[in-house]
């Protein structure tokens, strides 16, 4: 079932979102300061490529204050807008019964895109 969901996800916009995250990640990695943020874009991009069958969880152990500081910077620069975009798409897809699995994936992406530092995908 995950394979079918991932194929439908890719056809109806998942691949475009993946490309957007990859381009943003490459642009952020051009600068030394943007490398940690670019890596997080790559992480979110890989989740947008195949979201079905993957889960996001907190990294076990303490992530430290640097992770918290990077999350605050991420939220201020654009993480809030990315998360709101996934929230809006999730709400729109949740209106229909057919869109519920895809809405759930947008909500998962929303939680990761709001604070990506200190989280891992498995």
d(CA 114, CA 75): 6
Name the pTM for this structure. Answer: 0.87
Q: Return d(Cα 108, Cα 102) in angstroms, integer.
A: 10
pLDDT per residue as tens digits for the range 48-57: 999 999 999 8
Give Cα separations from 67 to 9, 63, 82 (angstroms). Answer: 30, 6, 19
Confidence band, pLDDT 50/70/90 cuts, at residue 110: very high
* pLDDT for 91: 94
């Amino acid at each position: 079932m995950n394979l079918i969901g991932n194929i439908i996800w890719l056809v109806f916009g998942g691949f475009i979102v993946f490309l957007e995250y990859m381009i943003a990640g490459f642009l952020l990695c051009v600068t030394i300061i943007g490398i940690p943020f670019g890596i997080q874009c790559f992480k979110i991009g890989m989740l947008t490529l195949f979201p079905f069958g993957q889960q996001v969880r907190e990294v076990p152990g303490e992530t430290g204050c640097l992770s918290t500081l990077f999350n605050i910077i991420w939220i201020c620069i654009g993480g809030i807008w990315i998360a709101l975009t996934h929230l809006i798409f999730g709400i729109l897809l949740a209106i229909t019964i057919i869109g519920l699995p895809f809405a759930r994936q947008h909500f998962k992406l929303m939680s990761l895109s709001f604070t990506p530092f200190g989280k891992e995908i498995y």
